Each structure stands twice: as structure tokens, then as C-alpha cells.
Structure 1
Amino acid sequence: MFNLEKIVRSNIQQLKAYSSARDEFKGVADVYLDANENPFGTLNRYPDPQQIRIKEKLSEIKKANLDQIFVGNGSDEVIDLAFRIFCEPGKDKALTFSPTYGMYDVSAGINNIELIKQRLLADFQINLNQLQPYLEMDDVKLIFICSPNNPTGNIINKDDIIYILKNFNGVVIIDEAYIDFSTKESFISEIKNYPNLIVSQTFSKAWGLAGARVGTAYANSNIIDLYNKVKPPYNVSSLNQKAVLVSLNNQSKFGIEKNIILIERAKVIDQLYKIPMVKKIYPTEANFVLIEVEDADKLYKDLVEKKIITRNRNTVINNCLRITIGSPEENQKLINTLEEL
């Protein structure tokens, strides 16, 4: 049975969080002389350390309580803090399913945590039979599941994820960076059912704010308390918080742009099927498509020469390129160039 106290690092349990000036005073005043700030300028004040206005909007949109939401410096901070909170360096382990997002591996290495990488099946789904022994290992504290998965684009079977949540005594992090492009529902609605679940999302993809570096985590309040305890005091800048609020207050723009991307995704896939060098197109529920070609290394270089940049994934999936869905003009240029090549 999952017990949060048993898997949190002892030093994190005993840690007393830093209390900033803006944590101690949360109202509005005429004169601020508490935080050693410069009294001049437009960015002279520290940002809200708890990002309350963002959380209030997200609470409405995502149907989650304020104390179930963490706002971080990109979803990479969500990943990194999970290692810091739950994994003892040089001792504990984490697990993920390859091929997948490479930052899990990098963050594990930075935190001196062994990352077990179980190969996905041919259809890029989890092999539960091979997974079972790891679910019973006491030193495996985290499991990362990217769904829709990067770079494959597919959703991981919900029943498989539920099985893992029910049978693993550690924390399961579902990385939903691309969920806005999917027909499937987010796992945020399952937080109330599984105390070991963290759902990570980002403003970098469908919200078009990759330059702002803002990510979110949704979990039960006990886990969110740990995140808030460990994070840097002012982890999201005022500029980035403002950019997020502008987007959250203009959901019609978000919906229009997302719909364009989905329409373009269907068009690009349809046109890719007509190009002889494309041997296979993998199903996708993200804003990119993974294709298998005759010679990925050569095609990648040929496209670079035409000033079109894709992602060569040949080192992780044989002869595959990952192609992001761009604007209608960009997509047409890609197709025209592929036809010429």
C-alpha cells in the first residue's frame, strides 16, 4: 500500500522551507520595505512565489483545487524536483519506458539516480509482464510515463497506467506535455483516486509559450506541499507569470490555434502517405508525427540544406524523423521539398 512518508527522503521530510518576504505578507500595500528590493523600475519587485493568480485560473480550467496545483519553471523543474524529493542519490532508482523524453535520463544523471529504461513493445505500449518485477522493488521510487509519448506520438493505454498506479508503492508521474492535442482525457481527474499520482503539463506546446518556461504539476495536496517546500522561492518570473495569465485569459485564441494545428496535422499526414520515400507513418496524438524513411540521416541532411529542420530520431528508432506540425505555409514547404527530393 502506498505510504508517502516512506518514500520521501528523510532530509526532505525534516527540511524547513525558506519563507520569503512575499510568503510572509500576501496582501496589497502602499509601501514595501520588507524584501530589500530596489524602489525604482518596472521589474523591481519580486514575483508572487506561489503564483496564486495562475493557480486560480488553472483551478477553473482543470477542475483541480488550488492546493493540488504546482507551477514550475518549465515541466523540467517538475521532473527534477521529483528526483530531489523522492530519490536518495546513489541509492534509489527510477524507471521509464524507452524511447521517450530524454530529460528523464539527464535529470536522473544530475541527481545521481539510476534510471531503468524498459523498452516499449513494437506498438510503443508498455510490456506489463516485464514490468512486474520492478513494481515490487523497494528502491524504485519513481516511474515516468510520457503520454502522448515523445517521440512516438501515441497515448499509453489507460488500463496499463491504472494497473501501475494500483500495484506500485512509489510515485507515478504522467507527463502530459502534448495532452491538449489528444482525443483522450487527462489523468488529472484521477488524482482523487490515486495518492501516488503526479500529472505534469506545460505551457510550451499548445499554449505557445515555450519561451516563457512554465510547467505545472497536479497531485494531492501532500505531494504539492513537498514541491512547494523544495522549489526555489521565486521560481517563476513576473514576466513569465504575466505571459501565462494573458494566455489563460484568452482561451478562444488558444482554441483557434490548436484547431489549426490539428487540421494541419491531418493534412500533413495525408500528404506524407503520397511520398514514396516515406515507408511508415506512426499514429499520433501530439503536435508532431513520427515517420520511417529509407535513410533518415541522409534525408535529415538534405532537409537542412533546404533550411528545413526536423528532428532526426534514427539513434533511438531506426530510420525515423520526428516532424513538428508548423504553420500552413511551413508545412506546405516541407511537403513540396520532400516531393522534390
Structure 2
Amino acid sequence: MKHGGFSWNKGEPPNVKDFSVNLNPLGVPKEIEELIKDAINLKVYRYYPQYNYKCLKENIGEIFDVNPSYIEIYNGVSEFLSLLTDEYSCPQPNYGEYPCYNKYTVKEEGNSYVYDLRGTKVITSNPVNPTGSLIDESEILEFLADKRELVLDESFMDLSDGKSFRNKIEEYPNLVVLSSFTKSLSIPGLRMGFSFSIKQKVRHIPWRVNSIANYVFSNANPKKIREFLNKSKEKVIEIRDNFEKMFPFKIYDTHAPFVLVEFPIPTKIINKFLIENGYYIREPEGFIGLRDTHARISLRDDVQDLVKVLNSLSPKTFKLKS
């Protein structure tokens, strides 16, 4: 299983409830859907997007209270990552697409993973994908104070009860914070990523974001987006708390819109049963430091339906402990 969710079939999205993809449980904001329709009606796809994305940067800056001059736009965070050189260390388990020459495994302590930052250049997610762990604030600040370089991917921070470090970029020129609207606004198909840093070191091509995405996010109301994200954080916490009460197996502490769990048997066996019933969860394949019994589950609004299906597993058939 690679990053990007369950496979398309003959040019169409998969007909399964895909709990391997971590999006906002509230879905796409109504305002964003209306702006997409407006963009189509105005035929903005017939025009090149603004060359320097000035309006887009200004709007993103207002949403996140960051100086627009510190913002760069990318065709998703993945584009930024593809432009980096392979000179970073990366703690594991972590997102598998980071360019790093040194991958080291962190400690698993009970129901959580404890992340430390090693080396002179580190790249990591925070909250960490796939564990949902938050890296301790003091660990990050000590690392930055030593003038070591940190690329911090906060793609899930806007749906987390954690604390963003984007307000630290002026204090620490050795810090780059990554973010996107992919997860927080449930629009992976529009590809909208951005970086916050006072030193933009990555070279990029022009027109890397299409006219529709440029129009939508240049015109989104910053106040409404902030309100939507605040409601989304509350919703994630609500779903997480309910999930913890229902799920019958091991659950790891999480600060993200997903949760790492562990079954008594390999997740591949669980998934065969789930796919037959129209569900899918993220297997541990590709994540260094996870066991074959681990799985990552998105905290969707209908996650209780998934739990019901899991609870219907036969202990005799799957040799589970009843």
C-alpha cells in the first residue's frame, strides 16, 4: 500500500470507505465548494494563474497570520519535498516520502512513540504520520537554538490539538514549516501546499498551482476558514474520544485526525475481510519501525461503522482473543 489511498479503478475513484486517507471529518467547506463552481463558471481554466501568486500568498498569510513574503506556494507539499536534496535525518516511524540519508528509529513507550531530533539537518512531520505523536516543544526549540536546520511538516497541525511553529520562523531562520489545505479542507485533488520560512532556499517552476486552485484560495474568506478549522479540531477530538471507547484492540495516543492501532494478527488479514465489506485501513507497509500488526485509521465521522465491522470478526476464524 503506497501513499495516496485505495487505488482508482478504470479512471474512477474507489467504491470503498477508505480509512487510509486522512482528511477533515467535516469534509469540504461549503464556501470552498461554491468557489470551485464559480471558478468553473468563470472559465478561469482558460487563463494562466497569477505568475507570482501575490493574491494567493496574501490570503494564506491572513488566514495563518504570517507575513506573505515568508510564504511560497507549491503543487502540494509533495512538490516541495521533491525539490529537496537527500541530506536530512528523519526519525522513524514517519512519512515515507521525505528525502533523507539517515533514518533512525525512535522509542516506543507504552501507547506512544517519543521522538528526538538527531543530526544537523532533520525533516519530520508533526504531528507525526503515522503515529499521531507530537514532538515535545522543548526538543524542537533546543534543536533550533543550536542553529541546526529543521523542516517541520505540519500538514496535520490544523486538525490537531497541538501547537504550530509557524510563528517561530522569524526567530529561527533555520526553520521551514510546511503546510497544506489537502488534509484540513479535504481537497487532495486541488493540490495546494505552502511553506513558511524567512529563507526560501528551494527553487521551483512557475505556474505550479493551476488557475482553479489559485482562484479558490485567493478568494476564500480568511475568517470563515479559521472558524471552520477551529470547528474541525473540536470534531476530531470528539471522534477520537468516542473511538477510544469503542475500539477493542490497542490504541496509541494521537494528536492527529488519525489513530495508530495494533491488532493481534497481521493487518493484511484484517484488510482482506474489510475490503469484502467495503472498507479499507492503512497497512504498515512502507513505515519503518511499525510491526505487521499495526494499522493507521482515519478518524472519519463514520468511523463507528468501521468499528462495528471489526467487532464482527470471528475469533475462531481469525484466531483473535475474545
TM-score, length of structure 1 as denominator length: 0.71
Q: Which residue of 1 aligns with 2:206?
A: 233
Change (3 A) 1:315 1:257: closer
Instruction: Give the match's secondary structure for 2:158.
Output: helix
1:271 to 226, 237, 246: 246
Preserved CA contact (<8 Å) 2:91 2:116: no
Preserved CA contact (<8 Å) 1:314 1:320: no
How many residues are aligned here?
A: 263
Change (3 A) 1:310 1:248: farther
2:192 to 210, 214, 217: 214
Taking only aligned residues, the RMSD between alpha carbons, in angstroms, comes to 2.2
**Residue 175 of structure 1 pairs with residue 153 of structure 2:** yes
Q: Which residue of 2 aligns with 1:304?
A: 275
1:154 to 126, 133, 138: 133
1:99-114 alignment to 2 at 5 Å? Answer: 99-104=93-98, 108=99
**Residue 203 of structure 1 pairs with residue 205 of structure 2:** no
1:166 to 135, 138, 145: 145
Q: Which residue of 1 aligns with 2:107?
A: 121
**Residue 243 of structure 1 pairs with residue 232 of structure 2:** no
Instruction: Give the match's secondary structure for 1:303.
Output: helix
Query: Over residues 230-289 of structure 1, what are the superposed CA-to-partner deviations in whole Å (9 max), with x where a residue is unaligned?
Result: 2111110011122334555532444444533332222122211xx2xx1x2101111101
Preserved CA contact (<8 Å) 1:165 1:196: yes
- Computing the radius of gyration from Cα coordinates, the structure with the larger value is 1
**Residue 96 of structure 1 pairs with residue 90 of structure 2:** yes
Tell me the amino acid that sits aligned with residue 118 of structure 1. Y
* Runs (5+) with no aligned partner, structure 1: 1-40, 88-92, 109-113, 136-141
**Residue 188 of structure 1 pairs with residue 166 of structure 2:** yes
Greater length-normalized contact order (CA 8 Å, ≥ 6 residues apart): 2
TM-score, length of structure 2 as denominator length: 0.75
Tell me the amino acid that sits aligned with residue 80 of structure 1. S
Change (3 A) 1:325 1:62: same
Q: Which residue of 2 aligns with 1:72?
A: 74
User: Aligned-pair distance for 1:313?
Assistant: 1.2
Preserved CA contact (<8 Å) 2:116 2:135: no
How far apart in 1 are the matches of 2:66 and 2:142? Answer: 23
How far apart in 1 are the matches of 2:166 and 2:231? Answer: 23
How far apart in 2 are the matches of 1:243 and 1:294? Answer: 45
User: Aligned-pair distance for 1:168?
Assistant: 4.6
How far apart in 2 are the matches of 1:218 and 1:331? Answer: 33
Instruction: Give the match's secondary structure for 1:173.
Output: strand
1:337 to 309, 312, 320: 309
Change (3 A) 1:162 1:309: same
Preserved CA contact (<8 Å) 1:207 1:247: no
**Residue 320 of structure 1 pairs with residue 291 of structure 2:** no
How far apart in 1 are the matches of 2:115 and 2:132? Answer: 14
**Residue 294 of structure 1 pairs with residue 264 of structure 2:** yes
User: Aligned-pair distance for 1:50?
Assistant: 2.2
* Runs (5+) with no aligned partner, structure 2: 1-42, 314-322
Tell me the amino acid that sits aligned with residue 242 of structure 2. K
How far apart in 1 are the matches of 2:297 and 2:269? Answer: 15
Query: Over residues 181-215 of structure 1, what are the superposed CA-to-partner deviations in whole Å (9 max), with x where a residue is unaligned?
Result: 22222101111111110000111112211111111
How far apart in 1 are the matches of 2:282 and 2:56? Answer: 32
User: Aligned-pair distance for 1:73?
Assistant: 0.5
Query: Over residues 55-98 of structure 1, what are the superposed CA-to-partner deviations in whole Å (9 max), with x where a residue is unaligned?
Result: 11222222211111111100112222232xxx6xxxxx221011
